[in-house]
């Protein structure tokens, strides 16, 4: 599913239901009719600030701009002041802090209580089948940001290797190094000794907290 087209169709539906022209909606958003047109056809990504303004204007929840979610390992909750929005990324680029990543596909809500103690979270789209059957392609996995290897031991983690995009594997630590293991046995384990961890480098960038599967 193209999330930009989905959001664009929703914007057009709400605008037409209110009998607004693109010019009138553009005036409210302090932008141009051409920008509204690009939003509606999915040719331009609608950022979070615009979606919040639109939700306020049309008196709807911001969630209505996104497809329904099925929460795996979590209970459904009402969206209110006890939740916050986090970005869902297509990929994570090496050398760029999580909060500065630009490949944002959408935003989803998590309980505000998760962020106590200064914890930060982000989501990633899963691609490929290396973590099947526990995770399937296009699942959204929410990660708690951390670089702590000890906390990551035995957990499913986002890991940066060789300065490439992040890979998603189960992490095992021992006295000699680190092993990154897929759930799909057709994928060989990735093994790195202590020297390789430092030289490549191999860097933990997040621990999986929750999986969300689209219906």
pLDDT at 209: 95
Least confident span in 23-27, 146-150, 163-167: 163-167
Question: Which residues make Cβ contacts (< 8 Å) with residue 195, sequence separation at least 6?
Answer: none
pLDDT at 81: 58
pLDDT at 11: 95
One of 10, 105, 169, 211 is an active-site residue; which one? 169
pLDDT tens figures, 54-66: 988 998 887 788 7
Same domain assignment for residues 59 and 146: no
CATH of the domain at 54: 1.10.260.40
Structural domain of residue 20, as residue ranges?
3-65
pLDDT tens figures, 137-154: 889 999 999 999 999 999
Residue 105: alpha-carbon gap to chain centroid: 7
pLDDT at 68: 60
Same domain assignment for residues 85 and 40: no
Alpha carbons 175 and 62: distance in angstroms, whole number = 48
Peptide bond into 201 cis (omega under 30): yes
Alpha carbons 107 and 122: distance in angstroms, whole number = 9
Q: Report DSSP letters for 21-56, one per residue.
A: -HHHHHHHHTS-HHHHHHHHHTSSPPPHHHHHHHHH
pLDDT at 103: 84
Peptide bond into 133 cis (omega under 30): yes
Same domain assignment for residues 122 and 197: yes
Alpha carbons 26 and 3: distance in angstroms, whole number = 21
Query: Average model confidence (pLDDT) for the chain?
Result: 87
Q: Are 196 and 162 in contact (CB under 8 A)?
A: no
pLDDT tens figures, 124-134: 998 888 999 89
130 included as an active-site residue: yes
Same domain assignment for residues 130 and 61: no
Total H helices, total E strands in the chain? 6, 10
Alpha carbons 10 and 3: distance in angstroms, whole number = 11
CATH of the domain at 199: 2.10.109.10
Asked if residue 76 has pLDDT above 50, the reply is: no
169 included as an active-site residue: yes
- How many CA atoms lie within 13 Å of 187's alpha carbon, on the beta-carbon side? 19
Same domain assignment for residues 32 and 90: no
The total number of structural domains that make up the chain: 2
One of 10, 105, 130, 211 is an active-site residue; which one? 130
Integer-rounded Cα radius of gyration of the chain: 20
pLDDT at 22: 95
Residue 133: alpha-carbon gap to chain centroid: 20
pLDDT at 162: 86
- The model's confidence at residue 163, banded by pLDDT at 50, 70 and 90, is confident
Tallying the residues shown for the chain, one arrives at: 215
Same domain assignment for residues 57 and 16: yes
**What is the average per-residue pLDDT within 199-210?**
94
Least confident span in 34-43, 98-107, 172-181: 98-107
Token readout for 148 is 């702590």
pLDDT at 75: 42
Question: Which residues make Cβ contacts (< 8 Å) with residue 208, sequence separation at least 6?
Answer: 141, 142, 143, 155, 156, 157, 158, 168
Alpha carbons 51 and 65: distance in angstroms, whole number = 8
């Amino acid at each position: 599913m193209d999330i930009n087209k989905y959001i664009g169709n929703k914007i057009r539906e709400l605008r037409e239901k209110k009998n607004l022209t693109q010019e009138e909606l553009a005036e409210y958003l302090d932008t141009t009719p051409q920008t509204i047109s690009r939003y509606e056809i999915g040719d331009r990504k609608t950022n979070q600030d615009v979606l919040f303004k639109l939700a306020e204007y049309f008196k709807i929840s911001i969630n209505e701009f996104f497809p329904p979610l099925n929460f795996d390992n979590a209970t459904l909750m009402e969206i209110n002041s006890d939740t916050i929005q986090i970005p869902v990324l297509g990929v994570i680029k090496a050398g760029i802090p999580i909060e500065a990543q630009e490949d944002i596909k959408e935003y989803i809500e998590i309980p505000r209580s998760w962020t106590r103690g200064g914890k930060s979270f982000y989501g990633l789209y899963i691609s490929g089948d290396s973590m099947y059957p526990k995770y399937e392609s296009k699942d959204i996995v929410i990660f708690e940001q951390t670089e702590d290897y000890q906390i990551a031991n035995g957990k499913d983690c986002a890991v940066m290797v060789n300065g490439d995009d992040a890979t998603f594997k189960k992490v095992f630590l021992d006295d000699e190094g680190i092993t990154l293991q897929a759930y799909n046995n057709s994928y060989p384990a990735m093994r790195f000794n202590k020297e390789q961890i430092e030289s490549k480098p191999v860097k933990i960038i997040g621990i999986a907290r929750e999986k969300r599967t689209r219906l």
